[in-house]
């Protein structure tokens, strides 16, 4: 056995496969410099190279690939928002996810098993009705469901919780999950094949600005220049933008999540309750992923707190009382870049060659493909695609916000 | 459990408080252009480091100022707002938009 393994391991016919090449030296200049090697930065690089033939691209990542929010999220992918602008945008992302494993040759474990959001009050039911109508109008699969249908969708769910029994739900068959780190690695591997350079452990520490343009990007591994420069740094958006002397309507909050020990499969759809600030899904391994609302005050520390765990577990047990004996396996937090309207900031900045991919808060994983594809289009052509128009930074100057707070908080 | 000291009620669990953002000077509305006003309404320093913020102890509705480090999650000091704002500030009546 051991001999066979060794023979196989050293055989030239089975060379070791590296997903991405080791970090090269920084070149003096690139056509596009992307700051941040999370899913968004890597997807932008991939689409620049694939769709627009722009291959002199580098991605600068201060830590390791996808070590930020890309590998910390709870992997919910959905398009059941409330404004038509958002539904159209996130719907395009859901559609891109559909063919992405095959396109990237990387198994993203994309699994579209539907998302059920629960209402515990008349007020929530009314907003669900609106989301269902808007969603149907935009061509997504979404409908209101009553208690009987909820019981059929999720047999173990406790509908009779005291004080706030479940009154109805919003059923979104398009909702699902994907393996988050695989999304980043899939994009990275294919982008690298097309010539994109990925520089891990390379922190951007300064930006030179002259005459309304970024003229140099300073890193802890030396200086480089980019014809166009993109920032996609999630929780650090304000700090990196400040290097270019740009102020953003963003505040950074920790978002915590946790995972239980593996259980026999019992939960097919994703279940989410905005009223209880909790959502639960079961992974292919059987673990339950539990997430909820943000921390109560801005912070850059990825510590976990007992306060949040207690409330999250309490609410999860209201939904599934039989989980009381189950143990937690892991807990973690990521720093999320929250905007006032719970919508992202995408597109041009006040500088001529500087682009923003920021304000993804607690909801940006699902948007990785569409943000990368459409921002690449904007950077390559210099023209903002119509689908990104609503998410311009200027909306805060004209007070033209895209309010998704109700459709985002605690349902991710 | 994290403890924040309320100047009126002493040390309490931080879950009894709400944070209302950094202490910044509000520009004079009657003399501020649209861009500067939008900047004041929406933009935020989002400081990574020591910040001076408005906090409120919710059960007693006590407003005060606290200094904390947003990187280490340490609270450094909390004190009554009168330490910063000694006297009342009145804003000029603006002309309503036409
Ligand atoms: C607990 C949790 C649960 C979530 N759940 C969901 C969910 O279910 N569904 C969903 O859609 N979204 C969810 N999100 C949000 C989602 O994870 C993010 O919006 C998304 O991953 C952002 O991707 P990104 O590539 O922009 O950021 P990141 O993956 O954070 O990448 C940014 C990168 O920039 C790097 N960087 C920062 N500063 C510098 C610098 N100066 N120089 C170089 N590099 C730098 C960082 O190291 C980091 O790797 C969740 C987030 C958290 C924390």
Q: Is A401 on the interface with B (CB under 8 A)?
A: no
Interstrand relation of A176-177 and A76-77 (parallel, antiparallel or unpaired)? antiparallel
Closest approach of chain A CAs to the CA of B45, in angstroms?
7
For residue A301, give the nearest of B1, B18, B71 by CB distance.
B71
| pLDDT attached to residue A224 | 98
Q: What percent of chain A has pLDDT over 70?
A: 99
**Nearest partner of A406 among A346, A363, A360, judged by Cα:** A363
- Contact state of A301 with B2 under an 8 Å Cβ cutoff: no
> A-B interface: how many C-beta pairs under 8 angstroms?
57
Average of per-residue pLDDT across A209-231: 98
The domains of chain B are located at 3-25+46-83
Q: Is B73 on the interface with A (CB under 8 A)?
A: yes
Would the pLDDT of A349 be above 70?
yes
Does the model's ipTM exceed the 0.85 cut? yes
Q: How far apart are CA B69 and CA A84, in angstroms?
A: 40
| pLDDT attached to residue A254 | 97
Q: How far apart are CA A47 and CA A369, in angstroms?
A: 9
Return the higher-pLDDT residue of B39 and A18.
B39
Per-residue pLDDT tens over the stretch A87-114:
999 999 999 999 999 999 999 999 999 9
Cα-based angle A199, A200, A205 (whole degrees, multiple of 5):
85
Ligand 1 atom at shortest distance from the alpha carbon of A357: 26
Q: Is the CB of A338 under 6 A from ligand 1?
A: no
| pLDDT attached to residue A363 | 97
Average of per-residue pLDDT across B3-19: 97
| pLDDT attached to residue B32 | 92
| pLDDT attached to residue A13 | 84
User: pLDDT grade, residue B94 (50/70/90)?
Assistant: low
Q: What is the mean pLDDT of chain A?
A: 96
Residues of chain B with C-beta less than 8 angstroms from the C-beta of A249: 42-44
Q: Is the CB of A254 under 6 A from ligand 1?
A: no
| pLDDT attached to residue B95 | 63
Q: CA of B46: which chain A residue's CA is closest?
A: A251
Classify burial at A12, counting beta carbons within 10 Å of its beta carbon; exposed 0-12, middle 13-18, buried 19 or more.
Answer: exposed
Q: Does pTM surpass 0.90? A: yes
**Nearest partner of A334 among A297, A301, A287, A288, judged by Cα:** A301
For residue B42, give the nearest of A300, A307, A340 by CB distance.
A340
DSSP B25-49: PPP-GGG--HHHHHHHHH-----SS
**Nearest partner of A64 among A201, A191, A236, judged by Cα:** A201
| pLDDT attached to residue A411 | 56
Q: Which residues contact A234 (CB under 8 A, 6 or more apart)?
A: A36, A38, A40, A68, A69, A334, A335, A336, A337, A358, A360, A364
Residues of chain B with C-beta less than 8 angstroms from the C-beta of A239: 46, 48
Would the pLDDT of A38 be above 70?
yes
Would the pLDDT of A169 be above 90?
yes
Q: CA of A242: which chain B residue's CA is closest?
A: B45
Please name each of the domains of chain A with its CATH number. Answer: 111-174+252-338 (3.30.9.10)
| pLDDT attached to residue B86 | 86
| pLDDT attached to residue A288 | 98
CATH fold of B3-25+46-83, please? Folate-binding fold (3.30.2270)
| pLDDT attached to residue A89 | 98
Sign of CA dihedral A106, A98, A258, A151: negative
- Alpha helices of A66-179 — where are they, by DSSP H? 84-104, 122-137, 147-153
- Contact state of B46 with A238 under an 8 Å Cβ cutoff: yes
Per-residue pLDDT tens over the stretch A55-90:
999 999 999 999 999 999 999 999 999 999 999 999
Interstrand relation of A354-358 and A222-231 (parallel, antiparallel or unpaired)? parallel
- The residue whose CA has the least distance to atom 49 of ligand 1 is A68
Both tokens assigned to A376: 């690449």
| pLDDT attached to residue A7 | 80
Per-residue pLDDT tens over the stretch A368-394:
999 999 999 999 999 999 999 999 999
Q: CA of B1: which chain A residue's CA is closest?
A: A307
| pLDDT attached to residue B45 | 97
| pLDDT attached to residue B98 | 56
């Amino acid at each position: 056995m051991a001999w066979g393994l060794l023979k196989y391991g050293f055989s030239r016919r089975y060379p070791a496969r590296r997903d991405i090449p080791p970090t090269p030296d920084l070149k003096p200049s690139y056509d596009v410099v992307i700051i941040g090697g999370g899913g968004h930065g890597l997807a932008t690089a991939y689409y620049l190279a694939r769709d627009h033939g722009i291959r002199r691209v580098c991605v600068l990542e201060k830590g390791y690939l996808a070590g930020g929010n890309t590998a910390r999220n709870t992997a919910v992918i959905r398009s059941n928002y409330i404004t038509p602008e958002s539904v159209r945008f996130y719907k395009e992302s859901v559609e891109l996810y559909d063919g992405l494993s095959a396109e990237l040759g990387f198994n993203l474990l994309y699994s579209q098993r539907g998302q059920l959001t629960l209402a515990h009050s008349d007020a929530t039911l009314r907003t669900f009705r609106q989301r269902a109508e808007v969603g149907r109008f935009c061509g997504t699969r979404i409908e209101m469901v009553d208690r009987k249908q909820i019981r059929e969708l999720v047999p173990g769910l406790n509908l009779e919780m005291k004080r706030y029994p479940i009154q109805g739900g919003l059923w979104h068959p398009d909702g699902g999950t994907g393996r988050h780190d695989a999304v980043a690695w899939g994009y990275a591997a294919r982008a690298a094949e097309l010539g994109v350079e990925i520089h891990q452990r390379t922190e951007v520490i300064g930006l030179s600005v002259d005459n309304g343009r970024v003229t140099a990007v300073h890193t802890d591994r030396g200086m480089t220049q980019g014809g166009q420069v993109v920032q996609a740094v999630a929780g650090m958006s304000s700090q990196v933008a400040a290097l270019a002397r740009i102020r953003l309507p963003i505040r950074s909050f920790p978002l915590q999540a946790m995972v239980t020990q593996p259980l026999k499969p019992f939960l097919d759809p994703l279940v989410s309750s905005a009223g209880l600030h909790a959502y639960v899904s079961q992974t292919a391994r059987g673990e339950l992923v539990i997430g909820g609302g943000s921390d109560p005050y801005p912070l850059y520390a990825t510590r976990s707190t007992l306060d949040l765990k207690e409330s999250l577990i309490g609410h999860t047990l209201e939904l599934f009382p039989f989980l009381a004996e189950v143990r937690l396996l892991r807990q973690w937090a990521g720093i999320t870049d929250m905007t006032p309207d719970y919508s992202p900031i995408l597109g041009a900045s006040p500088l001529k060659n500087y682009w923003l991919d920021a304000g993804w808060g607690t909801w940006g994983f699902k948007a990785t493909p569409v943000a990368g594809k459409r921002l690449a289009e904007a950077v390559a052509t210099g023209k903002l695609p119509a689908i990104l128009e609503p998410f311009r930074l200027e909306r805060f100057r004209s007070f033209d916000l895209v309010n998704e707070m109700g459709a985002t908080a605690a349902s991710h | 459990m994290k403890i924040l000291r309320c100047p009126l009620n002493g040390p309490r669990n931080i879950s009894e408080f709400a944070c209302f953002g950094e202490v910044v000077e509000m520009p004079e509305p009657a003399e501020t252009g649209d861009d500067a006003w939008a900047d004041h309404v929406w933009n935020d320093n989002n400081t990574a480091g020591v910040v001076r913020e408005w906090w409120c102890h919710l059960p007693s509705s006590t407003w005060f100022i606290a200094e904390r480090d947003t990187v280490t999650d340490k609270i450094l000091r909390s004190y009554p707002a009168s330490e910063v704002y000694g006297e009342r500030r009145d804003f000029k009546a603006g002309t309503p938009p036409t």
